[in-house]
Amino acid sequence: MITVTSGAKSGPSKERQFERALRELRQRILSGEFQPDQHLSETAAAGLIGISRTPLREAMAHLVDEGLLERAPSGRCTVRQFSRDDIIDAIEFRGVLEGTVARIAAERGADPDHLDACRRIIDQIDIALGATEAEIEFDRYTELNAQFHDHLARLSGSGVLEKEALRAHRLPLASPNAFLQSQAGVAAVRRSLYLAQAQHKAMIEAVALRQGSRAEAVAREHARLARENFDHVLFAGRDLADEIPGLSLVAAGTEADQEHISTHPGRTS
């Protein structure tokens, strides 16, 4: 009898190792385990995660592209520190990209599947918000808000715009949901969810009516709500660093910044 022996079982695929390395490195950076300006050694990081250096090196390159790591000319990688202006610029950039997606979707005609998905999500958000602030299902709103922005990124049917808009969601603290969970108990934030939902509806209505300029303007204004909420969190809630991934990477603002924020209460997107 001829016995056929199978080859040795292969380990996790290279792609899965890369995804694991990327996920774990990103989480450790955003949680504050790796501090701003800290050198991140490939060898040490690979040993910490328990993965080979090749997928680890690829993950680090990806995080350099995302902006969480900074690579010196020598090739040495360090954890980036961000200023208030860096985060504001990232949020503004997200608004520009989402506004561009909305405008082009209106001008060219939106992808019907994603337009319908946005409408269904909006209906579900109405239910999650309830009739009063006391009835808001905050966790459900956060989940649906992320889904809405994911479909919005795909609305124009452009692969280029989709990729860049989704990439902007990964910029530190620029995600549509970056501050929501930590601010569930803040009355001003809870009230602002109704304004954010009105903007969701206005964006999709403008896209459906082929009103490109209006769709773009509403999308950009929508992102600015996140900017106001970021300022509120940065100067009124530094004790929230453990609850907000990435906040530990942001340098404390100046006294002038804090004076500015004290006159502008936070809101959200």
Statement: the pTM of the whole predicted model exceeds 0.85: no
What is the rounded distance in angstroms from the CA atom of residue 187 to the CA atom of residue 77?
41
Q: Which residues lie across from 187 on neighbouring strands?
A: none
How do residues 38-54 score in pLDDT, each as one tens digit? 999 888 888 988 888 89
Distance separating alpha carbons of residues 192 and 105, to the nearest angstrom: 26
126-178 pLDDT, tens digit each:
999 998 888 899 889 989 999 999 999 999 999 999 999 998 887 777 888 77
The mean per-residue pLDDT over the stretch 28-32 comes to 83
The pLDDT confidence band at residue 10, using thresholds 50, 70 and 90, is very low
Token pair for residue 70? 């900074």
N- to C-terminal Cα distance for the chain? 69
Quote the pLDDT of residue 8: 42
* pLDDT of 87: 87
Which CATH code of 1.10.490.10, 1.10.10.10, 3.40.50.720, 3.50.50.60 fits the domain covering 14-79? 1.10.10.10
Residue 182, pLDDT > 80, answer: no
What are the extents of the domains in the chain?
Answer: 14-79, 84-262
Question: For the residues 13-37, what does the mean pLDDT come to?
Answer: 85
* Phi-psi group of 37: left, alpha or beta (phi > 0 → left; psi -120 to 50 → alpha; rest → beta): left
- Give the contacts of 7 (CB within 8 A, at least 6 positions apart): none
Contact criterion met (CB below 8 Å) for 104 and 206: no
Give me the CATH code for the 84-262 domain, please.
1.20.120.530
pLDDT value for 187: 72
